[in-house]
Structure formats: C-alpha cells, structure tokens
Structure 1
C-alpha cells in the first residue's frame, strides 16, 4: 500500500543544493553505491514490525529498498524535496519491494507536517552533507520523533580517502568536489562531525561508529561497485562545474581523474570511511 502527499517546499529549486545533480546517471550511481554498500552500512539497523519509521531525504529510493528489506513490516514514511527523485524512488520501491506499507511525502524535512512524536525511529543517509544547517535539520527531525525513539544517521567524509598509487593531482581533483559542495552550502567532510552535531541538536546517548570500505585486487566487486562506479563517478560528475568555477583546467582535472583511476587498476588500493551514528531523543 502506498500513499503520497504533496506539500509546498521551502526551496523552489532543490537542484541548486545537490552538488551531484539529478541526472539519470546520478540516480544509477546512487543505486550502485547503495547496493554495493548495503551490508556494510545497514548492518545493525533493523526496526520492529509495526514501527513508525521516517526516512528523511529518501532521494531516488536507493537506501529505501534496503531499509525495507532489513525491517519487514515497518510503517515507513519517505520524505524527499526533489519531485523527480521522489518519482524515481516510487518506481524503484514498486519494482524491488512491491506491496510494502509506505507513505510518500514530497516536502522539506525542515517543515514536516506531522505532529510531535509521530515516529518511533528516524533514518537518514547522505542527507546532512548537503544542508547548510545540519543542526536545524536534526532538530526538526527530533520534533517528530517520540521520546525514547532513535535516529540513525550515515554520512561519508571525503577527507578519509586513502589510495595507492598516491597522487597529488588526484588529491586536488577530489578537493574540487569538496570545495564545490561547500560553495553549495554543504560539507563533504561531515562524517567526522556527527557526534557534536547530534549532541547540539538535543539528542542523547550518541554513538558513532566508523564503517570502513577497503578495496584491492582481492575484492573485484568493490573495485567495480565502489571505487569506479561510486567514488570515481562522483568526482567525475563535477568536472563541468569545477571548470566553470575556475577551480581547474580541463587538462589538470582529467589528469587527476586518470591518476585516481589507477587505484582501481591491478595493484591499486582504495580506502574510504563512512560514519554511522545512532542517538536517542531524551525523555521529557
């Protein structure tokens, strides 16, 4: 069973805040990332059947299908600001998790129309990194969470990237992505800040655990699914914006990409750290 509500959003042009854009290629990259990392990122996250769960910023539904698979029988509400992404999410869930109990809401997570304490659990993955005020977003989500309920937050941190062969040119190309995300109001290094952000937003019992992805020749599925189709594809997607902003020349950007791709070639290695936080809304 699925339902949907349409609400007025705060941002009439959400594309300006999402540095990676809303292309079909980006939707595919998000799906590749979610499928490749599902066991790593979703391990330990399972909500009881009948629980009222809010997924804030569901995007194209890449994480939604894994959330539903790990928690059968939950009453899920998925919120997304981009109407196009929400439509893709509905299509993905209909194809991969048909018959699930999900309520779709098109709107801004800062202005949710739900009463205080409407949900038992809140889940958000790769959302805070794109927001100019993550504490305000977390506080808005805390309002709709019942006392004693939990919030689960997953974010990356591009500063955690290690690769071999090492390359200053590849580092500079990654830094262009970090810079562009900051210019858009986000923070590509937010993973390391989850504990203070959740604490400042009024949550208690905050626990943060790193989830490390390490890739070498012995892990060919991760070489393709993560190093190439997730991380390198993400960096490559901002090429035009980096050139337009004057951050790099075409030659320098492409050299950095070429050297970064060596981490996915025989003899190369790649490491990246995600941060997963769980916290509780205190009892009054």
Structure 2
C-alpha cells in the first residue's frame, strides 16, 4: 500500500525535487535510454522532475506517467509542456498497486525515488511486473540515508539524519531501501537483477553538487522534518538546529559530503 509522502506537497518541495533531479541527472540517468516508439511507464512521476530527463534522453518514446496525487500530476504536465513540448505523454492518476493497464502493456518501466515511500515495495514491484511485457526492463533508482558520510563529523547531524529515517519508517516507508534493491527485485520475480552504486561526492571543488545536493537536497530534506521530529520528543530543538547547521557546515570550505544512490536494472521473465 502507498503511504503519506513524508516530504509533503508544498511549492518548496516541488522546487526541491526539480533542483535534485537537475543536479543529479547525469549521475542517475546515465545508461538509461529507450528506443523510439518504446512503450515506457514512469510509475510515481510526482511533479515531473525525472520525467523531463527521461524525455531528454529518449525523446521519441511513447511515455505513460502515473501518480496518485492530482496536484503533482498538474505540476508535471506544466513542467513537461515547458521542457519538452510535443512529447508523447499520457497522464494517469492511479494507485501503484492497482494500475489501470492490461498485462504486458509496456516495454519498459522506470521508477525513481518511489519505493522508499511505499509500505509494501514487493507488492508494488509485482504489480509493475504485471504490466511489463516478458523480456521488458525495469529500472529502479533509490537512495539510502545510511550511506551519508560527511566531514566535519557531528553527532548532532547524525541524530537529525536518524530522526528523519525513523519518521519515514513510522509513516510506512524506508529511507534505507537502496541497500535492499537486489533482494526486493529478485523476490518479486525479476531476473538478471543488476544493482550499481551511483555515488555523490561533494567538496569545495564541486560547487554545483555542494549547492544542488548538499545544501538544497539532502540538508533540505532533513530540515523539513523539524516539526514532527520535535513533536516526537526524541530530540531537543537546540540539538536538531545544531544538527542542521552542522550539515550545512559540510558544504563550506573544508567540508566534504558523500552519499550513495543505487540503480537497479532487471528483466521481466515470462509469467504464469
């Protein structure tokens, strides 16, 4: 089943998603390109932040984009209309666990930053396998907050990250799901599962990553959970704020930040 999106649906979050996708486009989309005319499903397209990069690399595909949130779909339509006018995209508001498509309707399925927000990722993968043709490919991209390493070290920053992970788990998601992709896909029946790390390393010599990922993306996600974190009573306000400040310190001169995403590609075997 799907769960509440822990990051919310604000304008700020929509901008953050766009900044994140643009900053990481080369890292996450490298190697993903589909032949002209391919029937591609993007499951959980959100505000279209990844959709525009899919279309930039495969402009002649027949793309279907699905999300459960009507507001997100409206934002996605606007983003794609501006970035990729003339692209062939069908938009559907639907539940990931009950997709309105027949069996084997797509040649390829692309899923990015979705399974971390799903209470039953294995069930979601089985439904995606149903609508994917035998021999078609499934591509999944997820992060893993446990892979965050930074300098200067800070127990306050580590406590903030741990609290975000806990809150996401309490909502039914898993901010550590990247490390589980291979067993999840294999357990859902996919074959030839290949998972590869996609590592972000940022320091003063990489200002685009420092600003686009460390400040805007990662620290932004952590800072956004301040209210529920304090309400839970597990962390004091001054300690939370110190942790966020220490994360921002890693984006200054002398600081470094490391994070690993995981990208899986698998084949859908014959069913039945």
Q: TM-score range by the shorter chain?
A: over 0.9
Unpaired runs of at least 5, structure 2? none
Aligned residue runs from structure 1 range 238-253, under 5 A: 238-253=225-240
Do the aligned residues in 1 keep the contact of 2:94 with 2:100 (CA within 8 Å)? Answer: no
User: Which ranges of 4 or more aligned residues in structure 1 deviate by more than 2 Å?
Assistant: none
Aligned residue runs from structure 1 range 63-212, under 5 A: 63-212=50-199
Which residue in 2 is equivalent to 1:58? 45
The alignment of Structure 1 onto Structure 2 pairs a total of residues equal to 271
Which residue in 2 is equivalent to 1:7? none
Which residue in 2 is equivalent to 1:45? 32
Which residue in 2 is equivalent to 1:267? 254
Distance of 1:282 and 1:140 partners within structure 2? 14
Q: TM-score with structure 1 length normalisation?
A: 0.94
Cα deviation, residue 54, structure 1: 0.1
Cα deviation, residue 283, structure 1: 2.8
Unpaired runs of at least 5, structure 1? 1-9
Q: Deviations over 1:30-65 (max 9, x none)?
A: 000000000000000000000000000000000000
Q: Deviations over 1:98-155 (max 9, x none)?
A: 1100000001011011110000000000000000000000000000000000000000
Distance of 1:176 and 1:84 partners within structure 2? 28
SS at match of 1:111: coil
Distance of 1:246 and 1:153 partners within structure 2? 35
Which residue in 2 is equivalent to 1:20? 7
Q: TM-score with structure 2 length normalisation?
A: 0.98
Distance of 1:24 and 1:67 partners within structure 2? 22
Distance of 1:177 and 1:97 partners within structure 2? 34
SS at match of 1:50: coil
Which residue in 2 is equivalent to 1:234? 221
Distance of 1:37 and 1:20 partners within structure 2? 19
Which residue in 2 is equivalent to 1:33? 20
Distance of 2:101 and 2:73 partners within structure 1? 19
Distance of 1:113 and 1:258 partners within structure 2? 45
Distance of 1:260 and 1:39 partners within structure 2? 24
Distance of 1:152 and 1:230 partners within structure 2? 22
